[in-house]
Amino acid sequence: MNHPGELISAYLDGELSRPEIAQLLAHLDGCGRCAAELQEVQTVRSAVRSLPLLEMPAGLIPEADADVVPLHRNKGFLVGAAAAVVALVIAIAALVTPAAGTVSLEELNSRYGARASLDPAFGPAKVVVPDLAELLE
Amino acid sequence: MPESIPLTWEEVARVYGRKIYNFAYRLTGNSDDAADLVQEVLLRVRKGLASYQPGSFEGWLWRITRNAFLDDVRRHNRRPTAPLPEEVDRWDLASSPAADIEYSRISIGDDVQKALLELPFEFREAVVLCDIVGLSYEEIARAVAVPVGTVRSRIHRGRKLLRESLT
């Protein structure tokens, strides 16, 4: 029997003419070997086609990213400034939020209040808040 | 597949860059080689667009891509590791400069990718152009400069070899 092996892949790829399809299907009806080959080739074809479409390395072709609007320098500055403000807020929150192993202000006061009243050089603790405008310059 | 020519090479880069990268990656299993090829192809497209004659843009582009790939293989003088099986016709061997060229580097563990890299170049190229790039047999025939019947044969034999390799 003449097995139309190569028609199998072309059939799966939609590359056969109507007469060729009819010829193949008629053959497959009576040929277990070719029917099995169809299954195998179909499995392999699906496996290759399911390989992920990889992304190009970033910046390889800037032209390929044309639809991604680049950040203008001023916008970049704003983003940086916003990030600085967020970082500052987090830092301050960390200072004032009690956490395990830290000492509350009340406790601090009761511990050092007497000394503070006797020692004029022992002033209240100061939290230095940096000038936001200076930070962002 | 679009048959009209993109307006600029930037548009070619945007539309086809990723496909070219994937073509090269699946052929070599190496991201550096794939990245180099994308840049080389776009350079050639940039030079060639001015003299491009309207026709099959896909065929033109993939012929450039294939030639750039083979030039790179020759430049690095890579040694063949997987010769073509004996049943491949002599006409194919005489017509193709890539018949005895193979990549030997395997850089990822993926079974399918590994099996692809073990295929003789012509079969691997046909399978990748069909299943990864998504070209029709006619477009592959134009890109590779062989008859459609040869494309059909290479794709089927390539898949059968993949099957053997994966089982």
A52-71: per-residue pLDDT in tens? 999 888 888 776 665 544 33
The per-residue pLDDT for A97 is: 52
Q: Which residue of B has its CA nearest to A37?
A: B160
Q: Which residues contact A124 (CB under 8 A, 6 or more apart)?
A: A116
SS3 content of chain B, % helix, strand, coil (to 5): 70, 0, 30
A48 closest CB neighbour out of B9, B127, B137: B127
**Domains along chain B?**
9-166 (1.20.140.160)
| Residue A75: band (very low, low, confident or very high) from pLDDT cuts 50, 70, 90 | very low
Q: For residue A88, what pLDDT is reported?
A: 66
Taking an 8 Å cut-off on Cβ atoms, the answer to whether B22 and A54 are in contact is yes
Over residues B126-135, the pLDDT tens digits come to 999 999 999 9
Distance from CA of B50 to the nearest CA of A (A): 19
Collapse the DSSP code of B88 into the 3-class scheme (helix H, G, I; strand E, B; otherwise coil) and give the result: coil
B132, closest residue in chain A (CA to CA): A49
Q: Which two tokens stand for residue B31?
A: 């991201």
With beta carbons less than 8 A apart as the criterion, state whether B161 and B84 touch. no
Asked if residues B72 and B34 have their Cβ atoms less than 8 Å apart, the reply is: no
Which of A41, A56, A67 would you mutate first to test chain B, the one with the most B CBs within 10 A? A56
Please report the pLDDT score of residue B119 as a whole number: 96
Contact B87, B121 (CB under 8 A): no
Provide the whole-model pTM.
Answer: 0.65
- Per CB-CB distance under 8 Å, the chain B contacts of A64 are 13-14, 17-18
* ipTM score of complex: 0.77
Position B97 pLDDT exceeds 90: no
Q: The tokens of A92 are what?
A: 């301050």
Q: Which of B14, B38, B163 sits opposite A66 (nearest CB)?
A: B14
Residue with tokens 């007497």: A114
Question: Both tokens of residue B104?
Answer: 């030997």
How would residue B48 be classed by pLDDT, with cut points 50, 70 and 90?
A: confident
Residue A84: half-sphere exposure toward Cβ, Cα within 13 Å: 14
**pLDDT value of position B104:** 35
CA distances (Å), origin B19, targets A45, A128, B12, B22, B146: 18, 56, 11, 5, 22
